[in-house]
Amino acid sequence: MEPVTIDAKNLHYTPLNIRIRELIAEGKKKIILNNICGQRFIGNGIRGGDVEITVNGVPGGDLGMFMCGPTIIVHGNCDHAPGNTMDSGKIVIHGSAGDATAHSMRGGEVFVKCDIGYRGGIHMKEYSEKRPVLVVGGKAGSFSGEYMAGGLLIILGINREAPVKGKGIGSGIHGGKIIIRGDIDEKLLGIGAKKEQLTEDDRKDLEKYLKEYCRLFDYDYIELSESVYTKIVPASARPFAGKYCWE
């Protein structure tokens, strides 16, 4: 099926999103958005596992929020919270993303080729077969995986001095896991987070997403697979027990 192209130059996000929904309702599977500059909420709440949207430009915040199934490929940087509370589907960002990337994500995958801002993966969660995954190729800012309740956050630090620029990794984490390439200084961990060795299962879990990162962004898998990784998990299910109330 021929892709449908929308020129989004000077187009507000409301008519843009209405048009995207109309096209999906008409059965269109491939949509290309050109000249995107700052339009928020692109693809919010859209459904359909076989729908693919290509975004050429720099979208505004909350790309793919509540999305259920489709794939969004961005050729440019993203603003805050791409993948916010996403249910399922995939977001591939050929660039960097802003603060709170994959905010409260509950399923699906977000792959970022380069860096993310602060609080990436904040409050990701999982339930039953739903398990969100955020893979960051470059570096992440402070408080990555803050209040994480589930899911998997992978930070690779490719071509960066360190994978994490900042501190408070996994601050308040009480579910899920964070895997970071290289060793991580204990003092960078947030309250409630602890370091552990990767198990065989963790390694298998990781390899699957490393392969996908390399496929999407044409990167050398051998280099990534031969690296050392650190796992960060909750120290307890209730990191703040006793902090705000007593029992």
Q: Which residues bind another protein (CB under 8 A)?
A: 37-38, 40, 58-61, 77, 79-80, 96, 98-99, 115, 117-118, 141-143, 165-166, 168
Residue closest to 57 by CA, chosen among 73, 34, 83, 81: 34
Spatial neighbors of 110 by CB under 8 A, at least 6 apart, are 82, 83, 86, 90, 91, 93, 101, 102, 132, 133, 134, 135
Closer Cβ to another protein, 76 or 182, answer by number: 76
Rounded to a whole number of angstroms, the minimum distance from the CB of residue 218 to another protein is: 22
204 exposure class (CB count in 10 Å sphere: 0-12, 13-18, 19+): exposed
Residue closest to 73 by CA, chosen among 234, 245, 217, 223: 217
Closer Cβ to another protein, 9 or 243, answer by number: 9
CB 176 within 8 A of CB 154: no
Rounded to a whole number of angstroms, the minimum distance from the CB of residue 60 to another protein is: 6
Rounded to a whole number of angstroms, the minimum distance from the CB of residue 38 to another protein is: 3
Closer Cβ to another protein, 33 or 224, answer by number: 33
Closer Cβ to another protein, 115 or 126, answer by number: 115
Rounded to a whole number of angstroms, the minimum distance from the CB of residue 5 to another protein is: 20
Coil vs helix vs strand at 27: coil
Residue closest to 34 by CA, chosen among 75, 2, 63, 72: 75
> What tokens does 172 get?
């308040």
Closer Cβ to another protein, 59 or 132, answer by number: 59
Rounded to a whole number of angstroms, the minimum distance from the CB of residue 245 to another protein is: 24
Residue 143, CA distances (Å) to 140, 151, 165, 197, 222 in order: 9, 16, 10, 21, 29
Rounded to a whole number of angstroms, the minimum distance from the CB of residue 119 to another protein is: 8
Closer Cβ to another protein, 130 or 165, answer by number: 165
Residue closest to 94 by CA, chosen among 121, 56, 132: 56
